[in-house]
Amino acid sequence: MNIILLDPDHTLDIGLYGLSARQQTHLTKVIKAERGAVLRVGLLNGQIGEGIYEPPSDIMPGHIHSLNLTLSPPTPLPIVLVMALPRPNMLKRTLHNITAMGVKELYLIHSAKVEKSYWQSPVLQTESIEQCLLEGLEQAKDTIMPKWSLIPRFRPFVEDQLPSILEGKTGLLAHPYEAIPCPVDIQQPSVLALGPEGGWNEFEVMKWHEAGMKSVHLGDRILKVETVVPVLLSRLYPS
């Protein structure tokens, strides 16, 4: 937890920001913060700076006060990420890592080679997803919560939603067949579509191409999802 993210809706009184159980535990047990400790804090979807810690007492839960917020959050990546739903035990880590890297718009989409059972996973519950995103923000000292949607049906998304999402952006389909090398440092907004472990099927590739997405590859090496995502993001937006 590299920053304490405060919820502007969770104030105990004017200028006094409450802490979640997880934050309180972190401050008590890991940081061992004492009254008056100056902590790095940020307002969710707001600015970053410092605040002063007041430990829990009989009359009041632990909280942060005297906020001095002077810094903007780090620059987001100008990318819309559309990912075939990963398997549940990869999803939490993936959400955390893409958030830490600065992705602000995410669609988790169905694909023929995504097991239907993945859509039943408790990891997909809203609180669970929001928690992963929050932890990604805390990791990277960011405050801006990504927007995300679950897209259980592939076709309506690519036919009806994708065209407007794609406007003014480069569309890149991670699909290493008849593909050009993934561009480096593109310096413009993009939509990046990442398939499931087995890849997109022919129909899906055709629909992506129809919408204007171009197939790109990363060279001869086949990388696991946990590696390919940071590699792609870093290659498209190295700075």
User: Shortest distance, CB of residue 207 to a copy of itself, whole angstroms?
Assistant: 26
Task: Give the residue, chosen from 32, 116, 153, 224, that forms a contact with a copy of itself under the rule CB under 8 A.
Answer: 224
Whether the CB-CB separation of 81 and 214 falls below 8 Å is answered with no
Instruction: Single out the residue of 20, 139, 161, 201 in contact with a copy of itself (rule: CB under 8 A).
Output: 139
**What is the distance between the alpha carbons of residues 129 and 120, in angstroms, rounded to a whole number?**
14
Choose, by CB under 8 A, the member of 18, 42, 51, 102 that binds a copy of itself. Answer: 102
Strands 38-43, 48-54: pairing kind:
antiparallel
The single residue among 185, 198, 203, 206 that binds a copy of itself, judged by CB under 8 A, is 185
**Distance, CA of 188 to CA of 201 (rounded, Å):** 28
Number of chain positions touching a copy of itself (CB under 8 A): 31
Q: Is residue 147 classed as helix, strand or coil in its secondary structure?
A: strand
Which stretch, 80-88, 140-148, 194-202, 203-211, contacts a copy of itself (CB under 8 A)? Answer: 140-148
Question: Measured from the CB atom, is 4 or 211 closer to a copy of itself?
Answer: 4
Pick the closer one to a copy of itself by CB: 163 or 219.
219
**Residue 53 is inside which H or E element, if any?**
strand 48-54
Query: Can residue 131 be called a binding residue for a copy of itself (CB under 8 A)?
Result: no
- Tell me the sheet residues that pair with 84: 109
Among 25, 184, 197, 210, binds a copy of itself (CB under 8 A): 184
Contact 144, 45 (CB under 8 A): yes
Q: Which is nearer to a copy of itself, 54 or 142 (CB)?
A: 142
Per-residue buried b or exposed e for 92-114, using 16+ beta carbons within 10 Å of the residue's own CB: bebbbbbbbbbbbbbbbbbbeeb
From candidates 8, 74, 163, 198, binder to a copy of itself by CB under 8 A: 74
Q: Is 95 in the site for a copy of itself (CB under 8 A)?
A: no
Rounded to the nearest whole angstrom, what is the least distance from the CB of residue 36 to a copy of itself in the complex?
24
> How many CB atoms within 10 Å of residue 6?
24
